[in-house]
Amino acid sequence: MNPEQTTAQPPVVLAKLPVGSHARIEQILGGRLLVHRLLGLGLRVGCVVELTHRRGGGVVLASAGTRVALGAGVAEKLLVLPVSAEHKVKS
């Protein structure tokens, strides 16, 4: 059993994470169009991202060697779980 699954930690909104934190996307609170848009940017449920910057209400994420800027509305629709050091993104 994965040690991360043993904690009953609820997902949090991506926009509320501090800069420098790493998290795995657990759920996208949007419709099919948003999901497809995020897939085109390389973001999907299960991928690990690093929150690198805040730009107003939006955020900049690093994932799999790429950086993606998301507006505040999209950042509020991504539910994530913080991950431990061994699951962090390698930039």
Residue 3 dihedral angles phi and psi, to the nearest 5°: -60, -30
pLDDT digits (tens, 9 = 90+) for 11-61: 999 999 999 999 999 999 999 999 999 999 999 999 999 999 998 889 999
What is the pairing mode between strands 66-70 and 78-82? unpaired
- Secondary structure class of 86 (helix, strand, coil): helix
82 forms bridges with which residues in the sheet?
23
pLDDT digits (tens, 9 = 90+) for 60-84: 999 989 999 999 999 999 999 999 7
pLDDT at position 57, please? Answer: 85
Banded pLDDT at 1 (limits 50, 70, 90): very low
Ordered by where they begin, the domains of the chain are 7-87 (2.30.30.90)
Supply the pTM of this predicted model: 0.81
